[in-house]
Structure 1
Amino acid sequence: MSERHAFVRTPTTPSFLDSQYERKLDASTHTDEFLIGGSEGESANDPWKPSAFESIRSFKKNPVFGGKSTARAPTWSPQPRRLQRTALDWASLVFYNGLTYLVTFPFFALAARVGQVNGKVTNPETLQRLQNLTKMAATVFPIAFALVAGRTMSKVAAWHLEKGARLQTLEQLMGSRTVFGAVRTQFMLSSYNLLALALVFIWAMSPLGGQATLRVLNTSTKQDIANSVVNYLDTTGPSSFQGSNSATVFLATLNGMYFSSLTAPNTVKSSSLDLWGNLKIPYLTSTGSDWVDVAATLDPSEYSSVLGIPLFNVIDGVSKFNLESNYMQLDCTNVTAVVGDADVRVQFANATTHAVGSLNGTFQGACCVDPNAPDCKATTSWCLGVNNFASRDYMWQRPAGLINITGEIPQTTLLYEDAPYNFGNNTVAECQVTQRYVESSVSCNKTSAQSICAVVAQRESQLAHANSNLTWMSFSGVFDEISTLMPAATGAYQHSGMIDYTQKYVLNPNTSVIMTVDQETGNNTVIGELDPQLIGKRLGQLFNAYYIGSIAPFTMNGDPELGQQVLQPNNYTDANPVFTSLTGDNLIHSVAASVTTETEIYKCSWRWLGILVIATFIMFVLAVVGTYYDVRRHTPEILGFCSTLTRDSKYVAQPGPGGSLLEGFERARWMKDVQLRFGDVYADGEAGLMTGEPGLDGEHIRSLGVAEVKMAARVRPGRLYA
């Protein structure tokens, strides 16, 4: 017999291939082929006999297997090998098992990082980076867990198969390589044992770990309370009208602020802050020492002034403090409104000039109602007068300067009257004036972008003050300036036959109405037809604004640093004579404030962090277990591979003898071109391809099996199978 060739009828060669189909192994080329010719007996007596052959490696032109190509292909080596790992096998084992450990480390690192930053102040860039990592981890964790756990299940099953195990155990392990598979397999096998419970528990960690990465990190706010000092304009301070050359310096600024406040957007008028961010004080609605809450939203007429009080040194955070302020309150009870030419106005008796006509000796003011009267220089569309003043010795004083005055002081009555040129649509209103002293609880929320302050509660001031009948209007020097300049502040004159913006505001503070032509011409604009209480509120808002604005007009510009500089005592220069008070008073009042600072911090959910650590630890343990059983396993890994269907199969021709040491992937590479079918085969393997044993009724009894395509027929529903 030739040493170059060896021939064998392999155990896996179906007997129905007949004697003329035998296998031949070419020892030099390692190709396996079917022998054509020869007899059954010869093959049995001399299985390693040379013969003519044709290739079946690719099964492409073989008449039995139905292939097409005649290309020759190498076979696996028939030489026996020792059952041991090579250096390449060990390198592969270390590499792939090492990967299973590596995939767990990022999740341990993420958990450690989240625990480390817990309670610390957030950094926008770091926060964004951590949030991106948690989102990415939520996607990667189930994938990594499936990689490690699925591989471990295969390794454990392979080791059990080598050692010898029940089929149920193998199916439980191999079927539990996904989350759904772990649950489904136990039900399909009716396997309700400890292994089933352990497998379901292990795989439950996959979705839990993914969710934990999303929920492990949040943000929260930490509140720190500190003490601070807030400065604000003292409204008991003297008016700048009392200074030398005062009007020539600040009048343009004062009138500009006053006009801007009258025409400010409606959102500003109903806001707790004026156009420049100064705090507006609401009218106090009660008496006594009890605090009364202030509504968050107020009608514009509920504020005591359209100009607010400047605040200084308000730091970032939520500041709470109490401030003292005062304002004039008008109670208009005697209001007369005449539409037509009737003149119900009262002539004013001024202490210096403008005494014309028949004087009643009651009201005095720098105003006259007849523009043609001698010495009448006031040509405005409305007038102001009061019925009494403090003594001439105090003509440039203020209520705070007379705090020690005792005795009865009569209440001042302020007279407002229209003075249109045509003497039509007249209104005359008499209002009792009192000075109210209020303590307000203020809350300011300041950030780097904005500062929002509001009065949240009020009560009557608990400090000592002058008699409430002493008002800003009680001092003739100051009142003469106000009654002369304020009616002309918005530029409307008596001869124009129009009303000015002060009157427009009293009629309706809505800016869109103020700016209409109808109001400009004075049509349907009888102030006296309004509710007297509303007239008093709106007139009071305007008088208070004009006086407060005159205390320190250059501090109302919304620049706290600049405003505070000009409020220091005796701040007199030739260029800035306005802020030199007669008494050298400091116009800043300081008050203690409680500041709550809210800082954004990292907030770790310890519950979800624990779940993440447990899930990651289980994944790490699975990697260790997988490595352990992978090292202990000696046999080839065949579970989970389709190529295992060809192993020891009598219906599949093998590329050569041996091959029992091939791994699943190796066998698949060798036999990748073999076409398999799960179809009709016969249990004895001896009958013709399409013949079967007849059943009781004469019907052939068939058997299903995996075979090469030409060795198994396609199944047909309704056939009888054993």
Structure 2
Amino acid sequence: MLGAPGSDCGTSWRRLPESQVYITDAKERREQDEINAEKGMSTKVTSTVSTEEAEDDRETRPAKHINWSDAMIDTLIAILPLYFVAFCVAAYIRDGTLANSFRNQAILQMAKFNPTIFPIIFTLIFAKFIKAVANAKLERGASVGSIQHLLGSRTLVSSVFTPMRLRTWSIVVPLLVVMWACNPLGGQLSLRSVSRATNVTVIDTPFVYVDPMQEIDLRALPADSDPSYNRVIDTSFNTALLTPASSKNGTQDVFGNIQIPMLEYLRLNQTADVDGWFYTLGRNLTGLEAIVADTIDLPQHRKLIYASLIGIPYIANLTISSLTETNASSSDDLSAKLQRIKQDLFGEQVMNTRLEFTLQSSYVYSDCSFQPLHVGSPLPSGDEGIYVSNNVSMNTFGNATDFVTNGAGLTIKYDGNHTMNSTSVRNIVFESFLAVNDVDLGMTENGGSTGTTYPTISEARCGLSTTHVEAQVSCATSSNCTVSKIRESKAPHQPNYLTFLDGATIPASIDAGDDFTIPYRQKLARELMSNFVNATGPPSGIFNLSPLESFFTYPDSPWKAAISGMGASSGQSNQLPINLVGDLLFSQRLTQLLNTYWLTSAEPFQMVTGIDLEMVESGESTVPLPTTMGTTFVEKIVLRCHIPYMAVLLVISIALFGMGMATAYLDATRKGPDVLDDFVNSLRHNPYVHVDDKLGSSMEDGKEMVQRLKHTVVKIGDVHPGESVGYVAIGTPNHVQPVEHLDHRRHYA
């Protein structure tokens, strides 16, 4: 602050010489001049009120005892950081509870609001604390540098640059910088102390599923001669053929059943791990990992081939009886446990449910190879009704002794003597008739057609075996499941060369000599094969394949191909003999058809509608269903407290509260006026400031001076314009006290 000699606003006090007396008007000046002339003294003319007059007019006050008003305001401000303490306590108490509850939603909203208010509260309290400390130091006596350093360090940036500007260094410098750094830090901590997180509850869960090779008491099934039951089987089978490609080739069918990958296909494309597992879920590799994977030819995610067009039904068995098997508690305890599990699994707060379980399954695999296409003599015109349906001479392949046919060109020859005592796979011959024009057979030159039609027979020789597998099912949600890995089953099972055609699914508990089993085992292959080839009905003509045969060449839409002939008209066909698909594709697709028909035959209702747990519990299910223990991971979104962040926020908040209360104490016990912040304090005891009002007390605070002098005009300038050397001070420009503009051509003392 600028001040005149003799004021307390400069850097030191200066006593006026005895020869200088302050006067205020012309009469007193003349009288004083005469006195000074007699004494040989000079007179100093000023523009201020005389000391005697000033002292007579000045208001008097005692030193302050307790400053209650400032103390109360400071106390109210000091309480503000306790909001963050309450926030941390409330969040800690609610840690791990559901995030979408009303209280937790309020806490999360508070967390969003915290970064806005924390810097305001921090700055308000810490800046007032610094000023209160500076006032206390001033009353007790302190260096100008220390006080100015405190006053100049009331922001983060100024706390860094003020020591450089003042060239003052002490332990207070880094302490102030660290404290101000807590301002943005606390704002971020107040936001990040809580968040939404996923809480996973692990529940051991029994799962019930259908095993196609499970022992089935066929006596419980409706009679094969029952037309209505056969219609149900055929309807289920044809529904599977009509399903979209995404269902046929997906991890689940349209009914939500689990599709079992074909192990033989996986063996062709990847190598099992040390435990024999083949993984069906690939990884999306990028960057260096992708380069390394390409270098070592690491198997990536690929399209899978599934053993059937429909999958294996499954369901979590959350019933009292399923809990009783592993818990001997009372029925009431079991009911309560069941309710808790159901609430965990299906409650309103459940965000997602992941499932994992392992099942044992099996399927029939057909290993086929085509013979060269049999092309007969040209068909005479008008013989469209003639089929090569009586071409049933027994082929020596596989000791074929019997056959079944749809009467329209589809024939399956098989060994009727293959039984449970056989030691090799069952061989069959699959024959498909189709009339094809000479163009489609490539028998014309230059693409021209003679209109000649030739009968063709596609003959595939297949060996049927059973593949027993162990599959791990992983469900990303309760309704989105896939087989994540699969291997050959390690569990005891019947030899691979026995299939359901041999009666391998008839329970071992039934006497092998039972009147039921002997004839049924003998006719089982015939009944199933006969129903199989007739399941989709005959073709619409000699130029078309049946829907079952069309699946080999048009698997995505076999019914459309069979009905429309894919554009066939006037004796010309776009359908081609099925042997053109090759051995591998034919083997895979025949495998899918055979297993689909067996699944729909063994349990057509559960394949479509799912497993009925009530029937399972009551024992009314016609098919025994195995149970496997799995794990259910219940994901809920909860409120999560981050303890390290919260602990630091608590420390800062409590420190702010302490500083706020210290500020209240220092302001309450301050004896003198507050002179550190207000510009008006530069006018205190300034001889160049002349006011007409009564002078205030020296105990007057800066804010009180402002209220009293708010209309007084002041100016910084030359207060000795008439002297050779000017003097710079703040004064009240008027006719008594001139304050001239500063001039760069003039020198100032």
Q: For the superposition of Structure 1 and Structure 2, which TM-score range results when normalised by the shorter chain?
A: 0.7 to 0.9
Higher relative contact order (Cα pairs below 8 Å, separated by 6+ residues): 2
Name the SS of the counterpart of 1:557 in structure 2: helix
Residues 702/415 of structure 1: CA separation in 2 closer, same or farther (3 Å cut): farther
Shift of 1:565: 3.7
Counterpart residue number, 1:666: 704
Deviation at 1:305, TM superposition (A): 0.7
Instruction: State the partner residue of 1:328.
Output: 364
Deviation at 1:526, TM superposition (A): 3.5
1:631 match: 668
Deviation, 1:131, is 2.2
1:185 and 2:200 matched: no
What is the deviation of 1:328? 1.0
Find the aligned partners of 2:95 and 2:173 in 1 and give their Cα distance: 38
Residue 296 of structure 1 corresponds to: 281
The structure-2 alpha-carbon separation of the partners of 1:568 and 1:216, relative to structure 1 and needing over 3 Å to count, comes to closer
The answer to whether the Cα contact below 8 Å between 1:289 and 1:462 also exists between their aligned partners in 2 is no
Residues 373-418 of structure 1 deviation map (CA, whole Å, 9 limit, x = unaligned): xxxxx44xx6241321257xxxxxxxxxx8xx44535522241424
Aligned partner letter, 2:613 = Q
The amino acid across from 2:465 in the alignment is: T
**Secondary structure of the equivalent of 1:235?**
coil
CA contact (8 A) 2:367 2:463 kept: yes
2:160 alignment partner, SS class: helix
Distance 2:582 2:354 in 1: 39
2:600 maps to which of 535, 546, 549:
549
Asked if 1:497 corresponds to 2:521, the answer is no
Q: Which moved more, 1:452-461 or 1:518-527?
A: 518-527
2:393 maps to amino acid: L
Which one-letter code corresponds to 1:277 in the other structure? Answer: G
Q: Is the 8 A contact 1:261 1:306 kept in 2?
A: yes
Deviates more, 1:479-488 or 1:650-659: 479-488
C-alpha distance in 2 between matches for 1:300 and 1:668? 84
Deviations 1:138-193 (A, max 9, x none): 22111101111111112221222233221111111111222222222222222220
Aligned partners of 1:417 and 1:242: how far apart in 2?
31
1:81 matches 2:60: yes
Residues 632-691 of structure 1: per-residue CA shift (max 9 Å, x gap): 21112121112223323344333524213332222222222334444xx23xx3434xxx
| Secondary structure class of the residue paired with 1:452 | strand
Aligned partner letter, 1:293:
F
The answer to whether the 8 A contact 1:221-1:598 is kept is yes
Structure 1 CA distance for aligned equivalents of residues 31 and 536 of structure 2:
127
**Which residue of structure 2 lines up, in the alignment, with residue 230 of structure 1?**
207
Alignment of 1:213-292 (within 5 A): 213-236=190-213, 237-238=215-216, 243-244=222-223, 248-285=227-264, 290-292=275-277
* TM-aligned CA deviation for residue 110 of structure 1: 1.5
* Contact 2:720 2:727 (8 Å CA) reproduced: no
Give the AA of the match of 2:253. Answer: D
Question: Which residue in the other structure is 2:79 paired with?
Answer: 102
Task: Pick from 493, 497, 509 the counterpart of residue 468 of structure 1.
Answer: 497
* Cα deviation digits, residues 429-451 of structure 1 (max 9, x gap): 2221112222223333444xx34
- Structure 1 residue 229, shift from structure 2 partner: 1.6
**1:163 counterpart = 2:140:** yes
Indicate the residue corresponding to 1:4 in structure 2: none
Is contact 2:65-2:671 (8 Å) kept?
A: no
Change (3 A) 1:545 1:300: farther
Amino acid at match of 1:307: I
Taking the aligned partners of 1:537 and 1:42, their CA distance within structure 2 comes to 131
Structure 2, unpaired ranges of 5+: 1-6, 9-22, 34-46, 48-55, 283-300, 319-344, 346-352, 380-387, 437-452, 504-520
In structure 2, the CA distance between the partners of 1:704 and 1:436, relative to structure 1 (3 Å rule), is same
Could you tell me which residue of structure 2 aligns to residue 408 of structure 1?
423
Classify 1:242/1:93 alpha carbon distance in 2 versus 1 (closer, same or farther; 3 Å): closer
Shift of 1:311: 0.4
Judge conservation of contact 1:222–1:598 (CA < 8 Å) in 2: yes
Q: Distance in 2 between matches of 1:38 and 1:165?
A: 44
Residue 122 of structure 1 and its aligned partner are, at CA, apart by 4.5
Comparing 712-721 and 457-466, the one that deviates more:
712-721
What is the TM-score of this pair, normalised by structure 1?
0.72
Q: Distance in 2 between matches of 1:489 and 1:706?
A: 112
Q: Give the paired residue count.
A: 598
TM-score under structure 2 normalisation? 0.70
Give the aligned partner of residue 464 of structure 2: 433
Letter aligned with residue 475 of structure 2: C
Mapped to 2, the partners of 1:329 and 1:296 lie a distance apart of: 23
- Aligned partner of 1:444 in structure 2 is 475
Cα distance per residue 1:330-376 (max 9 Å; x no partner): 11113434689769xxxxxxxxxx994673374644425xxxxxxxx
Say which SS state the counterpart of residue 278 (structure 1) adopts. coil
Distance 2:314 2:556 in 1: 27
Of 381, 388, 394, which residue of structure 2 is paired with 1:360?
A: 394
Asked if 1:174 corresponds to 2:151, the answer is yes
Tell me how far apart the structure 2 counterparts of residues 276 and 207 of structure 1 sit (CA, whole Å): 56
Q: Which one-letter code corresponds to 1:153 in the other structure?
A: I
Matched, 1:564 2:588: no
Task: Write the distance in 2 (CA, Å) between the matches of 1:300 and 1:342.
Answer: 42
Deviation, structure 1 residue 426: 4.6
1:647 corresponds to which residue? 684
Percent identical: 20
Amino acid at match of 2:594: F
Give a deviation string over 1:215-273, Cα, whole Å, max 9, x none: 22245455554433211113125479962267533455544443443344444333221
Partner of 2:652: 615
Distance apart, 1:107 and its partner CA: 0.9
Q: Deviations over 1:424-481 (max 9, x none)?
A: 565322221112222223333444xx34242423223431315524443776644445
Hey, what's the Cα distance between the residues in 2 that align with 1:445 and 1:541? 26
Distance in 2, matches of 1:709 and 1:492, equals 119
Q: Deviations over 1:50-82 (max 9, x none)?
A: xxxxxxxxxxxxxx9xxxxxxxxxxxx956332
Q: Is the 8 A contact 1:387 1:414 kept in 2?
A: yes
Residue type at the aligned position of 2:730: V
1:311 aligns with 2:314: yes
Letter in 1 for 2:143: R
- Report if the CA contact (8 A) 2:544-2:565 is conserved: no
The 1:176/1:214 distance shift into structure 2, 3 A limit, reads same
Cα RMSD over matched residues? Answer: 4.1
SS in 2 for 1:588: coil
2:110 is equivalent to residue 133 of structure 1:
yes
In structure 1, how many angstroms separate the alpha carbons of the residues matched to 2:148 and 2:470? 82
Q: Look up the match of 1:148.
A: 125
Describe the superposition over 1:100-124 as per-residue Cα deviations: whole angstroms up to 9, x where unpaired.
Answer: 2210111111122233334555455
Give the structure 2 partner of residue 605 of structure 1.
642
Q: Does 1:389 align with 2:426?
A: no
User: Is the 1:643–1:668 Cα contact (8 Å) retained in structure 2?
Assistant: yes
Is 2:189 aligned against 1:198?
no
- Offset at residue 487 of structure 1 (A): 4.5
Distance 2:392 2:538 in 1: 27
Worse-matched range after superposition: 498-507 or 433-442: 498-507
Question: 1:114 and 1:487 mapped to 2: Cα distance?
Answer: 68
Code of the residue aligned with 1:304 in structure 2: it is A
Match of 1:574 in 2: none
**Alignment correspondent of 1:31:** none
SS in 2 for 1:95: helix
**Is the Cα contact below 8 Å between 1:240 and 1:246 reproduced in 2?**
no
Return 252-261 or 629-638, whichever deviates more: 252-261
Tell me how far apart the structure 1 counterparts of residues 392 and 455 of structure 2 sit (CA, whole Å): 21
